Amino acid sequence: MRHRPGKPNSRQEAAFGHDDVATIAALVVANPDLRLVKLAEKLSLARTPPSDSEVHGLIGNALYFDADLGDVARDVASRAAAIGSAPVGDDRVRRRGALLERLTDGLVRSRLPTTTFHEHEVELKVNPRSRRQWTHSKEIVAEGDAFEVYECKANCLPDPGDVDELSDVASTAKAEGTEALPTLVVFGSIEQLRRMSVAWRLTETIYAVPTEAILDLRLRPPKRFALAPIA
């Protein structure tokens, strides 16, 4: 399937390159422990910086005093709390979104280092839902045994247009005889996505990566959770 670089958004790119965002993602990719992911997810929502005792409680004794991960967990906690307590609301939202995006990019890139692309558009030769020739920029596109396309939503609220474009990626791949994995990555649960997918009236199967499964991306394509059309 064809894809090309998308049009950069300066504010999104600034959030993607923010030091706290980049450092948390790098720490989690280097230390793939789900507790770190959940810590970043939770504290990046904190509107006020937590106290030391609150951070200790959130991390938990086992991780806080872990010889290898204790310092990492405290760094992740501090930086995630800084994202959540940014003084400007738009910065909070963009940086939290960029955190999920950068984490997904790093995990997929560790598996497909030379064929992972950031902010690319995908050609839609079959487009009954979106009516677009090219998608809007997708956060990550990766070429492996299957063609992987990722839309990241830190708020676990995919836009109908995102779902339409991912569905058309699947339709185009089917027409070309290619295996594609159009995928939603969220901070949230698979149960949330399954409930919402009823309203989407899916015509193609798309895939889902909730918080609990995000670390799988460093090892394998996102086939664990599928959202299929309702018969």
Same domain, 162 and 70: no
Domains: count for the chain: 2
What does the DSSP 8-state code read for residue 134? B
Q: Which percentage of the chain shows pLDDT scores above 90?
A: 91
Domain boundary residue among 54, 74, 98? 98
Shared domain check, 143 and 166: yes
Same domain, 119 and 219: yes
Could you tell me the sign of the dihedral formed by the alpha carbons of 216, 224, 175, 229, in that order?
A: negative
Q: Is residue 147 part of a domain?
A: yes
Question: Is 103 contained in some domain?
Answer: no
Structure tokens at 149: 């396309």
Closest CA to 158 of 179, 136, 143, 173: 136
pLDDT at 166: 98
pLDDT (0 to 100) of residue 88: 82
Could you give the strand order of the β-sheet that contains 225-227, starting from the edge strand earlier in sequence?
3-5, 116-122, 138-143, 147-153, 180-186, 206-209, 225-227
220: CATH: 3.40.1350
Determine if the pTM surpasses 0.75: yes
Distance in angstroms between the alpha carbons of the first and the last residue of the chain: 28
Q: Do 83 and 171 fall into the same domain?
A: no
Q: Determine the structural domain holding residue 149 and report its residue range.
A: 3-8+113-227
In a domain, 105, yes or no: no
Q: Are 203 and 176 contained in the same domain?
A: yes
Task: Single out the residue of 130, 136, 122 nearest to residue 178, CA to CA.
Answer: 122
Q: Same structural domain for residues 15 and 54?
A: yes
Task: Name the region of 184 (left: φ>0; alpha: ψ -120 to 50; beta: rest).
Answer: beta
Asked if pLDDT for residue 7 goes beyond 90, the answer is no
pLDDT digits 0-9 by tens, 75-112:
999 999 999 998 887 889 999 999 999 999 999 999 99
Mean of per-residue pLDDT scores for the chain:
95
Burial class (CB in 10 A: 0-12, 13-18, 19+), 161: middle
Looking at the fold, whether 90 and 130 belong to one and the same domain comes out as no
Of 98, 130, 160, the residue at which a domain comes to its end is 98
Query: pLDDT tens digits for 129-180?
Result: 999 999 999 999 999 999 999 999 999 999 999 999 999 999 999 999 999 9
Q: Is residue 106 part of a domain?
A: no
Assess whether 136 and 216 both reside in one domain.
yes
